[in-house]
Amino acid sequence: MPFAIETRDLHFRPGGGFEISNLSMHVPTGSLYGFLGPNGAGKTTTIRLLLGLTPKQRGTITVLGRSMPSDYVEVMARTGYVPERPHLYPTLSVDETLRLHSAFHTRWDDTWANELKRQFGLIGDRRVASLSKGETGKLMMLLALAQQPELLVLDEPTDGLDPVVRRDVLEALLAYVSSHAATVLISSHLVHELERICDWIAVMDRGRMVAELPMQEFKDGIKRLVIADAARALGETPFTVLARKQGSGGGEQWLVRGWTNGMREYFVSTGGTLREVIDLDLEEGFVELLRSFRGAA
């Protein structure tokens, strides 16, 4: 099973002008798949569609080799889910929540759940409603991990959490992944966080997939080129020019994707002098990618 999650031509229109159309997604099995996108891009809606929480209108969804939403029972038994907003019953205590969750998950590891509870510093008889945001986030992660899933779907699990809590949560996640070879789909606004832990990245904007590729390829492939005496008309280029703008000092700055060092030859043949190749971090690359996508749209 090469892909833990696969969608083809997924379509969903909830109304209000927003639409997810022709979404194709491929989450490789065993990967840490970062799902990036601005607010309102459709990340949470996509996740809900993947897990059958929202019925799709068209297209196919395959999760862990099973068709969704028809096989949701088996899929959800093997999937740990942390939603964007807390979904736990506020009047139950931590222990009661664990008890309820364990009843529905046959692979629940009680020992490890207690270990995580200790690690996260959660007190068993405290009500969920009285937990802080960080404690709630830890509890949701605990529930997802203790059921020993093959797939973890995390919708902004560290959003709003302080750095200490974020570290605790991510450490527990990475420890699990390394010991269980699970697949993780994690959506987040915190680009640097995803940059550190993910080996695949997908960018979504306005209901469409903008890019889906290995993280390193993304980072390596997007560069800013400083060029002097560039030709006005570009012609065919071995790389994709995302944007051109005038730089300071008379030259131009090009934002390109798919750059490799061997492409320096292009400037030799076309004229223009390549002055500098600037590496972009994930955030810069993400921002520029979105700009070019929206400009093209």
Residues that bind other proteins (CB under 8 A): 51-53, 72-77, 81, 83, 85-92, 95-96, 99-100, 102-105, 108, 110
Residues 188, 190: Cα–Cα separation, whole Å: 5
Minimum CB–partner distance for residue 94 and other proteins (Å): 12
Minimum CB–partner distance for residue 233 and other proteins (Å): 54
Residues 110, 146: Cα–Cα separation, whole Å: 7
Of 95 and 212, nearer to other proteins (C-beta) is 95
Minimum CB–partner distance for residue 121 and other proteins (Å): 20
Of 74 and 276, nearer to other proteins (C-beta) is 74
Return the structure tokens found at 95.
């222990």
Of 184 and 255, nearer to other proteins (C-beta) is 184
Minimum CB–partner distance for residue 89 and other proteins (Å): 5
Q: Is 94 helix (H, G, I), strand (E, B) or coil?
A: helix
Minimum CB–partner distance for residue 25 and other proteins (Å): 19
Of 42 and 52, nearer to other proteins (C-beta) is 52
Of 38 and 86, nearer to other proteins (C-beta) is 86
The C-alpha torsion from 156 through 160 and 164 to 165, rounded to 10°, is -60
Q: Which pairing describes strands 32-36 and 208-214: parallel, antiparallel, or unpaired?
A: unpaired
Minimum CB–partner distance for residue 186 and other proteins (Å): 17
Minimum CB–partner distance for residue 202 and other proteins (Å): 22
Of 53 and 226, nearer to other proteins (C-beta) is 53
What type of residue sits at position 151? Answer: L
Of 95 and 159, nearer to other proteins (C-beta) is 95
Per DSSP, helices labelled H in 34-181 are 43-50, 72-77, 94-104, 110-120, 133-146, 163-180
Q: What phi-psi label fits residue 17: left (phi over 0), alpha (psi between -120 and 50 degrees) or beta?
A: left
DSSP code of residue 54? S
DSSP code of residue 190? -
Taking CB atoms within 8 Å and a gap of at least 24, the contacts of 272-275 are 272/227, 272/228, 272/229, 272/230, 272/231, 273/227, 273/228, 273/229, 274/225, 274/226, 274/227, 275/226, 275/227, 275/228, 275/251
Return the structure tokens found at 172.
């527990």
